[in-house]
């Protein structure tokens, strides 16, 4: 991820030469150098106020009495929502005359936290309680025994999360608690934001900026550090418009797994005009899908509601069945909805799940849907009450499995069909069930979700190592197709895992063709049910540890995609052990090795 130093725009002519000399001076500087330079220049400004020329009238802040000392806005997010909130906070701060810096935690030296005086930390929680990759270094420092005391720091935290996960907003809560324990003082209470985060995030930003402005005494020179990579939000409510949305026709819907597989995984191809939908390998699309008619009908029957009953949703009055079908979440369970139902019920299992640890709640929600909870709890809700407490229907995201250079005007997806059961009733996934039923010629609404944090190396000569069990292999199909189409000379090594080779080897013929033709240099597979002792991709990594380490030392990039709960953690531990053993490092130095590769963009993960 590249970093740029930006000074205030609309510079007077007399400063053009100064800007040119500054840009020349920082050429090739590291992220740490830039952070130091920011503080150094601000310090010079503070020490020599008499040398600062009086600003022109059109350069003055609108309200000089409410200008504030520099606020550093730090953000970290896997999907881009964190950056979006942070950018809005930065815009609001500058509009109020508050000097501010906008910094990705991926570009922030954790030790610099001791030099900060006021921060707003915008951070998401990934998977079930994990920090996003950009936040790992700071999270590790503050949570460790060598964490610095921070009595001079004031802070605010905006935590982003997904309340369908038991460890909702855990990373933000971790940071909030650790900063307080280290002596820092809150500017405002932490704000936890669900997928429909906009209103809560704006409230949190406003509270922090008010507190900063109330403590303002000086107007510093503003130097802003930003990363150049644009990011966009993912997982937003389905009713919110998206900037890059198309209607695509289905070209193919092919089952990849065998007839006797326990999984149904589909390869879907869509025809679309990529002129205005220029996706890149590593990007995803979200699918806007309605709830199945059977899911809606079961809920209506369970609760005794009339399909035609009018209900209010925002400013609109709509039929209940329309709202249930296309506006509300009926298949995924979120903690706020569960808590609202529990408040209207004395059902022991539901209360125990909410009061227990993350594992207890995860077990409770695993195969249940909204209708199950309402039926088992005995809660009697009016249709309007349910509409008021239900979560908005959200788009589902899928990694793109194709390259525009290899298949122009097409987009491919690899989709695992969710087909659970609870109490003898089928519990289909919302979007996956919708996609499974699509036939050739059907139209589907797709929204592009760019993922600049999961990108091929800038150089086609660089080697890449791809670790993608199950449907985690989807983006790597796009990676290999892209690099082959470009004639890249860098080597490709794929690690793939599934249950059985006969039934579950996704894209087997394609990988074998790439091996024959040079598109893959190496392919290692692990099929956990084909041997008496279960084998997983991390076992194959250990077997090939010496050669893997050699690739790393030669500059290879490593990519991991797939399950965040177990696979990604097991793979990361294996990679740390690998470099510790073959690089002669202790455990802490081995973790630092991978943090440095992340900083360089050579270790990227897309896990969920």
Q: What is the pLDDT of residues 361-413, one digit of tens each?
A: 888 998 899 999 999 999 999 999 999 999 999 999 999 999 999 999 999 99
Residue 68 has pLDDT above 50, yes or no: no
- Under 8 Å between Cβ of 66 and 216: yes
- CATH homologous superfamily of domain 3-227? Flavodoxin domain (3.40.50.360)
Contact partners, residue 118, CB within 8 Å, separation at least 6: 68, 69, 70, 71, 72, 153, 154, 155, 187, 212, 215
Bridge pairing between strands 492-498 and 284-287: unpaired
**Residue 17: both structure tokens together:** 């030469």
pLDDT value at position 415? Answer: 98
In 366-507, which ranges are continuous DSSP H helix? 370-377, 383-389, 430-436, 474-486, 501-504
d(CA 109, CA 138): 8
Mean pLDDT score, 33-45: 46
pLDDT value at position 128? Answer: 66
Residue 532 has pLDDT above 80, yes or no: yes
pLDDT value at position 31? Answer: 47
Q: Binning pLDDT at 50, 70 and 90, where does residue 81 land?
A: confident
Q: Tokens 């209103």 label which residue?
A: 199
- Under 8 Å between Cβ of 284 and 421: no
Residue 50 has pLDDT above 60, yes or no: no
Q: What is the pLDDT of residues 122-154, one digit of tens each?
A: 999 886 688 888 899 999 999 988 899 999 999
Q: What is the pLDDT of residues 107-126, one digit of tens each?
A: 899 999 999 999 999 999 88
Q: Binning pLDDT at 50, 70 and 90, where does residue 164 land?
A: confident
Residue 491 has pLDDT above 80, yes or no: yes
Between 233 and 166, whose confidence is greater?
Answer: 166
d(CA 548, CA 275): 39
Mean pLDDT score, 82-87: 92
CATH of domain 245-290+395-449: 2.40.30.10
Q: What is the pLDDT of residues 496-529, one digit of tens each?
A: 999 999 999 999 999 999 999 999 999 999 999 9
Q: What is the dihedral of CA 183, 186, 191, 197, to 10 degrees?
A: -100
Rg (alpha carbons) of the chain, rounded to whole number: 26
Q: What is the pLDDT of residues 227-269, one digit of tens each?
A: 333 333 334 555 554 558 999 999 999 999 999 999 999 999 9
**Residue 329: both structure tokens together:** 């979440």
Q: Tokens 């309340």 label which residue?
A: 163
pLDDT value at position 273? Answer: 85
- Residue 493 φ then ψ, to 5°: -130, 120
CATH of domain 464-607: 3.40.50.80
Contact partners, residue 15, CB within 8 Å, separation at least 6: none
- Under 8 Å between Cβ of 74 and 122: yes
d(CA 416, CA 66): 54
- Under 8 Å between Cβ of 85 and 75: yes
Query: b or e along 532-554 (b: 16 or more beta carbons within 10 Å of the residue's beta carbon)?
Result: eeebbbbbbbeebbeebbebbee
Mean pLDDT score, 13-40: 49
Residue 60 has pLDDT above 80, yes or no: no
Contact partners, residue 273, CB within 8 Å, separation at least 6: 246, 409
Query: Could you state, in order of their start, the residue ranges of all structural domains in the chain?
Result: 3-227, 245-290+395-449, 293-389, 464-607
Domain 293-389 top-level CATH class: mainly alpha
Q: What is the pLDDT of residues 471-484, one digit of tens each?
A: 999 999 999 999 99
d(CA 316, CA 313): 5
Q: What is the pLDDT of residues 310-333, one digit of tens each?
A: 999 999 999 999 999 999 999 999
Q: Binning pLDDT at 50, 70 and 90, where does residue 222 land?
A: very low
Secondary structure element (H or E) that encloses residue 320, with its range:
helix 320-326
Which letter does DSSP use for residue 203 in this model?
A: H
Percentage with pLDDT > 70 across the chain: 84
Check for a shared fold between 3-227 and 464-607.
Answer: yes
pLDDT value at position 448? Answer: 94
pLDDT value at position 61? Answer: 37
pLDDT value at position 274? Answer: 80
pLDDT value at position 217? Answer: 47
- Residue 489 φ then ψ, to 5°: -95, -15
State the chain's mean pLDDT as an integer: 86
Q: Tokens 């009713």 label which residue?
A: 239
Q: What is the pLDDT of residues 180-215, one digit of tens each?
A: 999 999 999 999 998 888 899 999 999 999 999 887
Residue 564 has pLDDT above 90, yes or no: no
């Amino acid at each position: 991820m590249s970093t740029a130093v930006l000074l205030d725009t609309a510079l007077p002519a007399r400063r053009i030469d100064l800007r040119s000399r500054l840009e020349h001076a920082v050429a090739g500087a590291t992220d740490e150098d830039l952070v130091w330079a920011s503080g150094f220049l601000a310090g010079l400004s503070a020490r020599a106020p008499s040398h600062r020329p009086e600003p022109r009238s059109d350069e003055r802040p609108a309200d000089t009495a409410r200008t504030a000392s520099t606020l550093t806005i730090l953000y970290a997010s896997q999907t881009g929502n964190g950056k979006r909130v942070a950018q809005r906070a930065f815009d609001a701060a500058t509009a109020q005359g508050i000097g501010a810096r906008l910094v990705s935690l991926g570009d922030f030296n954790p030790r610099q936290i001791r030099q900060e005086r006021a921060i707003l930390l915008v951070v998401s929680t990934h998977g079930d309680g994990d920090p996003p990759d950009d936040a790992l270094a700071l999270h590790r420092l503050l949570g460790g025994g060598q964490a610095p005391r921070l009595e001079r720091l004031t802070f605010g935290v905006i935590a982003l999360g997904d309340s369908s996960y038991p460890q909702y907003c855990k990373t933000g809560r971790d940071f909030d608690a650790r900063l307080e324990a280290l002596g820092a003082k809150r500017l405002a209470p932490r704000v936890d934001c669900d997928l429909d985060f906009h209103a809560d995030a704006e409230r949190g930003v406003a509270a922090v900026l008010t507190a900063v402005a109330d403590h303002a005494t000086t107007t510093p020179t503003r130097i802003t550090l930003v990363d150049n990579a644009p990011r966009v939000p993912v997982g937003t409510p389905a009713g919110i418009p998206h900037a890059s949305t198309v209607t695509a026709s289905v070209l193919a819907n092919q089952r990849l797994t065998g007839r006797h597989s326990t999984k149904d995984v589909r390869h879907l191809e869509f025809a679309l005009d990529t002129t205005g939908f220029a996706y890149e390998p590593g990007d995803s699309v979200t699918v806007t899908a309605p709830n199945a008619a059977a899911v809606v009908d079961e809920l209506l029957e369970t609760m005794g509601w009339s399909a035609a009953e009018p209900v209010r949703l925002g400013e609109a009055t709509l039929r209940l069945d329309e709202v249930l079908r296309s506006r509300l979440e009926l298949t995924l369970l979120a903690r706020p909805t569960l808590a609202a139902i529990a408040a209207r019920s004395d059902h022991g299992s539901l209360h125990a799940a909410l009061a227990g640890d993350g594992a207890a709640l995860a077990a409770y929600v695993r195969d249940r849907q909204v209708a199950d909870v309402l039926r088992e709890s005995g809660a009697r809700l009016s249709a309007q009450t349910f509409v008021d407490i239900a979560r908005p229907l959200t788009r589902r995201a899928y990694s793109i499995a194709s390259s525009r250079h290899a298949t122009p005007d097409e987009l491919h997806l690899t989709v695992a069909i969710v087909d659970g059961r609870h109490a003898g009733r089928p519990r289909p996934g919302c979007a996956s069930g919708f996609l499974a039923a699509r036939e050739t010629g059907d139209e589907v609404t797709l929204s592009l979700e760019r993922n600049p944090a999961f990108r091929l190396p800038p150089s086609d000569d660089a080697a890449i190592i791809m670790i993608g069990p199950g449907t985690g292999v989807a983006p790597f199909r796009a990676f290999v197709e892209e690099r082959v189409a470009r004639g890249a000379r860098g080597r490709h090594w794929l690690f793939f895992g599934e249950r059985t080779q006969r039934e579950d080897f996704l894209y087997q013929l394609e990988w074998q063709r790439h091996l024959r033709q040079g598109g893959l240099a190496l392919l290692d597979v692990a099929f956990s049910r084909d041997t008496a002792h279960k084998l997983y991709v991390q076992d194959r990594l250990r077997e090939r540890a010496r050669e893997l380490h050699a690739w790393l030392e030669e500059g290879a990039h490593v990519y991991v995609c797939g399950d965040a709960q177990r696979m990604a953690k097991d793979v990361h531990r294996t990679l740390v052990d690998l470099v510790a053993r073959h690089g002669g490092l202790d455990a802490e130095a081995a973790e630092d090795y991978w943090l440095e590769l992340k900083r360089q963009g050579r270790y990227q993960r897309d896990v969920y």
